[in-house]
Amino acid sequence: MVHLTGSRETASVRAHELTHGAQRARLACAVVLAPVLPVLARLPLTVFLFVLVLRSLRLSFQVVDVIHPGRKPVSKKELREHIAKLHKADVNAVIVYGFQTVFGGGRSTGFGLIYDSVEDLKKYEPRYRLMRIDLGTKKTRTRKMWKDLKKKKRETWGVGRREAARLAKKAAAA
């Protein structure tokens, strides 16, 4: 539970409590992998996956740890192909995002999602991530359209804006 009132330290302590379970799981894995890391350093690319399966959304969520010693950070396309091969899934049903490289290089951590099918991916993923993997299209509006939209937003405010949007939707449906 995060409380928005209070000092900045209180908020950071609450956020720490939320992520403590994930950190503990990662530390436990790090302790197990510690003797293996020197051997892994000689390999070109190693991927560790912490998997959480969400059947309601037809996907599996993963924290992806990539060890790439002596190499630049691995491309997302290469990671998608690697994860798809590991899980025997379609490359287009795999999405990776949010990767950050550790200071000094050699290790990156991010998130991955494997959907059951490409249709499920298109249904649940945000448009900007679909555009990154060339499955989505960008909304194209002319300059005139943008200006009209901006003018309409200026005309109504607060509750009136919601009411105007509801009436416009109703008029468009009729």
CA-CA distances (angstroms) from residue 62 to 59, 79, 140? 10, 13, 33
In this prediction, what percent of the chain has a pLDDT beyond 90?
A: 22
In this prediction, what percent of the chain has a pLDDT beyond 70?
A: 74
CB contact at 8 A, 112 and 99: no
Residue 2: band (very low, low, confident or very high) from pLDDT cuts 50, 70, 90: very low
pTM of the model: 0.57
Residue 111: band (very low, low, confident or very high) from pLDDT cuts 50, 70, 90: very high
DSSP letter assigned to residue 73? P
| Beta partners for residue 114, in sequence order | 60, 94
Q: What average pLDDT is seen over the chain?
A: 76
- For 4-92, where are the alpha helices, taking DSSP H only? 8-33, 37-40, 76-87
Least confident of 12-16, 20-24, 99-103, 118-122: 12-16
> pLDDT per residue over 77-108, tens digit each?
999 998 899 889 899 999 999 999 988 888 89
Q: Which CATH architecture has domain 41-151?
A: 2-Layer Sandwich (3.30)
- In the chain, where are the structural domains located? 1-36, 41-151
**Amino acid identity, residue 123?**
K
Angle 159-173/143-155 helices, nearest 10 degrees?
A: 130
Stronger pLDDT, 142 or 163, i.e. the higher one: 142
pLDDT for residue 55 is more than 80: no
